[in-house]
Each structure stands twice: as C-alpha cells, then as structure tokens.
C-alpha cells in the first residue's frame, strides 16, 4: 500500500488535514477545481463537497488505480461532480481541460515526482481562468526522514521560480503542517 493511504481523515502520509486545508483556501460553491496528481483523492473528495453539485472537480492522475479509488469514494458519498481524467502532467494539454476554464488548481505532493516541473505550471496556468489560483503543497526539504528522498524534494525557492517564470503572482506562503510548505499563486 502506498505511504499516502494511511488515514481517512489525513492526507498524504497521514499528516495533512485536507478538509481543514480546503476550508482555508477560499474555494466557493459552484467553482471548478482541478486536482493535479490527485492520488487517492484526499483533496479531490473534500473539494467536491466544498464546491457542491453546482461546481466541478477534475481529479487528474496518471494512475488508473488511483482514479478508481476516487471513483469509489465519490460514489459512496454520492458526489456527482467529480470528473476523472487520466493524464501525464508532464505533457502539454494532457489534461484535456479547456483553456481558461477552472477557478483553482491544486498541486499537492506532486512536484517532487516530476522530471519536467515547468510543464505542470504551464498546464495549470493554461487551464486557469483569469485571476484563477494555484495551490502548491509539497514536502519541506531536509525536515524529515519520512516522505520522498531529500534529493527529489523541490525547495520553496524553486517553486517560486517556476511560478514567476509563468507570470504567476504569489499571494500566500504558509506551512500546512511541520513537514510541508504551501503557496497560493494567482494568474
């Protein structure tokens, strides 16, 4: 079992509280959110509840098994607003989401897994509506022996560089738990 499937109430590696984090974003009913690298849906499911049936959540992952887990969770909770997309986020337009169509993109614990990190920022920006926002949450370098190897973690400074190179503006930097950092960028 992957290390991110440890707890129903906590997210990746059992540390983050995805519902608390989702409630702190400012996501509203009726909005559209894209969860890039959705994994088992720790953010997709709380986001789907938050935006209600009037909104939509694209759960995007490269692994069919992860999407199947999200599908089962959404079915159990009668969530009809979750759209599953299998995509390689390192390939341009792989999500098939229309340009300028989502209010929010979340990238939680995905950057350390990618070789071509700039591509995910380009894809997020392409999908975002004007003034749409990107939430990035990833592992703090050098903080813990759990999680990915320190050599694969991306520093907050590197995230800022990718965001700025895509003309995104930083509006928030915070620590969702002692092991992760977070950003909100605006298009």
Q: What is the C-alpha separation between 55 and 106, in angstroms, rounded?
A: 15
User: 121-137 pLDDT, tens per residue?
Assistant: 999 999 999 999 999 99
Q: What is the C-alpha separation between 62 and 88, in angstroms, rounded?
A: 5
The residue among 41, 1, 46 whose CA lies nearest residue 21 is 46
Instruction: Using pLDDT thresholds of 50, 70 and 90, give the confidence band for residue 14.
Output: low
Q: Cα dist. 98→52, 125, 126, 129, 174 in Å?
A: 21, 11, 8, 10, 30
- Counting residues of the chain whose pLDDT is more than 70, the rounded percentage is 92
Q: What is the C-alpha separation between 108 and 182, in angstroms, rounded?
A: 9
Q: Give 170's strand partners.
A: 185
Tokens of 91: 């390939």
What does the pLDDT read at residue 144? 72
What does the pLDDT read at residue 180? 92
- Mean pLDDT computed over 43-72: 98
Ordered domains of the chain (ranges, CATH)? 12-32+45-182 (3.40.50.150)
Q: What is the model's pTM?
A: 0.90
What does the pLDDT read at residue 16? 80
* Angle at alpha carbon of residue 23, lines to 21 and 27, rounded to 5°: 110
User: 134-184 pLDDT, tens per residue?
Assistant: 999 999 998 677 889 988 999 999 999 999 999 999 999 999 988 999 999
For residue 77, the number of C-alpha atoms closer than 13 Å in the C-beta half-sphere is 19
Q: In what side-by-side order are the strands of the sheet with 82-86?
A: 82-86, 56-61, 32-36, 102-108, 128-139, 180-186, 169-177
Helix (H, G, I), strand (E, B) or coil at 51: helix
pLDDT at 8 over 60: no
Q: What is the C-alpha separation between 26 and 47, in angstroms, rounded?
A: 11
User: 64-75 pLDDT, tens per residue?
Assistant: 999 999 999 999
181's enclosing H/E stretch is strand 180-186
Helix (H, G, I), strand (E, B) or coil at 156: helix
What does the pLDDT read at residue 12? 45
pLDDT at 10 over 60: no
């Amino acid at each position: 079992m992957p290390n991110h499937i440890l707890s129903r109430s906590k997210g990746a590696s059992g540390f983050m509280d995805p519902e608390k984090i989702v409630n702190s974003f400012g996501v509203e009913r009726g909005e559209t959110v894209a969860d890039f690298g959705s994994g088992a849906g720790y953010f997709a499911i709380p986001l789907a509840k938050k935006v209600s049936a009037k909104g939509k959540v694209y759960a995007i992952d490269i692994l069919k098994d992860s999407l199947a887990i999200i599908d089962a969770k959404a079915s159990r909770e009668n969530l009809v607003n979750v759209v599953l997309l299998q995509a390689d986020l390192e390939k341009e337009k792989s999500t098939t989401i229309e340009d300028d169509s989502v209010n929010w993109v979340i990238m939680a614990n995905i950057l350390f897994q990618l070789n071509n990190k700039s591509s995910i920022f380009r894809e997020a920006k392409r999908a975002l509506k004007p003034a749409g926002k990107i939430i990035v949450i990833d592992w703090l370098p050098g903080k813990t022996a759990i999680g990915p190897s320190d050599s694969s973690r991306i520093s907050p400074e590197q995230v800022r560089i990718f965001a700025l190179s895509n003309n995104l503006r930083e509006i928030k930097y915070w620590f969702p738990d002692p092991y992760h950092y977070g950003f909100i960028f605006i298009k």
